[in-house]
Amino acid sequence: MTKERNTAPARQRHTDGHATERSIRILVADDHLVYRIGIRNLLGSEHGFEVVGEASDGAQAIELFRGLRPDVVLLDLRMPQKGGIEVVRAIRKEAADARILIVTSYQTEEEIFQVLNAGALGYILKDTGREMLIKAIRAVHAGKGWISPSIQRQFADRVLRQPLTARELEVLKLLARGLTNREIASVYGISPSTVKNQVSSLLAKLEVSDRTEAVSFCLARGIVQPEEM
């Protein structure tokens, strides 16, 4: 998890000279209009929150972040143009202290691991109650991690296993498409025996016995998406 950062709430000064806590400025990025309207209304009725922008796809989320520099980004995981993981990486590359909370309907193990590893501070599901969402936003704004208990268990299980290398993930996706060792070797310009060793290492890390079980395992956990097959 990303380490907690020391960030006192921003303050602004009224004409009477008294300092007051500034509202948390929020960018909402989600491709569903109805959800964006609901979040806007929910946060608009909550003291100390202000929705300053809305993005309907990943590319727009990055563009609006650059222009608005919100305090917190509420980001869906799967969107057109650029997915949530790509958006997190792009934003964090430009602003290492960006506060991003993933709010999504998906909780596949690999996606949780990848987006948190990319730099998102929080991960909650869209069916989370109002009170929990508010707490999560405040925690992320303060630089603290916030993950729903069920997701914490998934993330912990994922961390305990050996991580797959970038090449192993690529090979796994080719296996899911039904390619043989010889065909995979042709893709990378390497020998079939090298591919055989990579596949054996991959199966050992996943603790499965064969290719079919490996593909089923990874589909269930979001390592491979159905459309990639």
Contact of 114 with 86, CB cutoff 8 Å: no
Q: Indicate if the pLDDT at residue 173 is higher than 70.
A: yes
Q: How sure is the predictor about 12, in pLDDT bands with cuts at 50, 70 and 90?
A: very low
Q: Residue 20: which of 47, 46, 2 has the closest Cα?
A: 47
Q: Indicate if the pLDDT at residue 88 is higher than 90.
A: yes
Segment 125-149 shows an average pLDDT of 88
pLDDT tens sequence across 22-66? 889 999 999 999 999 999 999 988 889 999 999 999 999 999 999
Q: What is the pLDDT of residue 8?
A: 41
Instruction: Compute the distance between CA of residue 93 and CA of residue 28 in angstroms, rounded to an integer.
Output: 19
Q: Indicate if the pLDDT at residue 175 is higher than 90.
A: no
**Burial (CB count within 10 angstroms: exposed 0-12, middle 13-18, buried 19+), residue 199:** buried
Q: Which residue shows structure tokens 């603290």?
A: 144
Segment 193-198 shows an average pLDDT of 90
Higher pLDDT pick, 187 / 12: 187
Q: What is the pLDDT of residue 57?
A: 94
Q: Chain centroid to CA 156: how far?
A: 16
Q: What is the pLDDT of residue 7?
A: 41
What pTM, to 2 d.p., does this model score? 0.64
Question: Of 61-65, 72-76, 114-118, 181-185, which gets the smallest average pLDDT?
Answer: 114-118
> Hey, CA dihedral for 149, 46, 70, 6, is it positive or negative?
negative
Instruction: Compute the distance between CA of residue 171 and CA of residue 224 in angstroms, rounded to an integer.
Output: 11
Question: Of 97-101, 164-168, 207-211, which gets the smallest average pLDDT?
Answer: 164-168
Q: Are strands 100-104 and 72-75 parallel, antiparallel or unpaired?
A: parallel
- pLDDT above 70 as % of the chain: 79
Mean per-residue pLDDT of the chain = 82
Q: What is the pLDDT of residue 128?
A: 82
Q: How sure is the predictor about 107, in pLDDT bands with cuts at 50, 70 and 90?
A: low
List domains and CATH numbers for the chain.
Answer: 11-159 (3.40.50.2300), 166-228 (1.10.10.10)
Higher pLDDT pick, 48 / 128: 48
